[in-house]
Amino acid sequence: MTRTMRSVLLVVCGMAIGVVIGLAIPALSAQQREGGGRRQALPTMEQLPAEVAQLKLLVPSNSHIMMDVQWHWTNLWFAGRKKNWPLATYYFNETRGHIQWLIRKSPMIRNNAEQKDVDISGIFDGVDTSSLAAVKTAIDAKDSVQFASSYKTMLESCYACHKAVGRPYIRPMIPTAQVQSIANMDPAATWPQ
């Protein structure tokens, strides 16, 4: 087959594909307009309360979000102890982000023991600019001694929040076992590539 014939054949095939697609798109759009597509109509005002209730069932509990915080904060300890500062930064950011998620979900938490609502958003604002910020500063400085000290101080801040919301029985501590053994904390690791 000559070069010219291949070029003509390629153009003809391209045109045929274009025609098929051009005919298919309006047919698909008409099907969607007639309700045959995957889009569902927006709920009516009468349906809205049930829709909102259904969505609320999908939101994780505060304890679930805090388990994520615990997981990331524990891994942060081991990454920092191994001086894997990029990984420590990652776990720090994940921890902070999950705490912020909890606060967006529940800015006020009920302290049932004292029968009062606690503004955890306000508590976090103070922690975020003090003890949590100190951990970030130690990570950025790659300072192991300051990291260990500020990590411990942050745990004390965590406990102060736990007490404020009526959960003094949740006592954080310096981790003794890595929770995720699949994550290699060694900054000199060479596998996998």
Give the model confidence (pLDDT) of 127-170 as tens digits: 999 999 999 999 999 999 999 999 999 999 999 999 999 999 99
Q: Roughly what angle, to the nearest 10 degrees, separates helices 120-128 and 144-164?
A: 170
Quick check: helix, strand or coil at residue 109?
strand
Indicate whether 182 belongs to any domain: no
Please state the domain count of the chain. Answer: 1
Which CATH number characterizes residue 117's domain? 1.20.120
Indicate whether 16 belongs to any domain: no
Closest CA to 164 of 134, 126, 135, 133: 126
Mean pLDDT of 60-84: 96
Indicate whether 28 belongs to any domain: no
What is the extent of the structural domain holding 129?
A: 61-164
Indicate whether 129 belongs to any domain: yes
Indicate whether 39 belongs to any domain: no
60-91 residues labelled b (16+ CB within 10 A) or e (exposed): eeeeebbebbbbbbbbbbbbbbbbbbebbbbb
For residue 4, pLDDT over 80 is answered with no
Indicate whether 157 belongs to any domain: yes
Indicate whether 19 belongs to any domain: no
Indicate whether 42 belongs to any domain: no
Q: Give the predicted TM-score (pTM) of the model.
A: 0.74
71 pLDDT tier (thresholds 50, 70, 90): very high
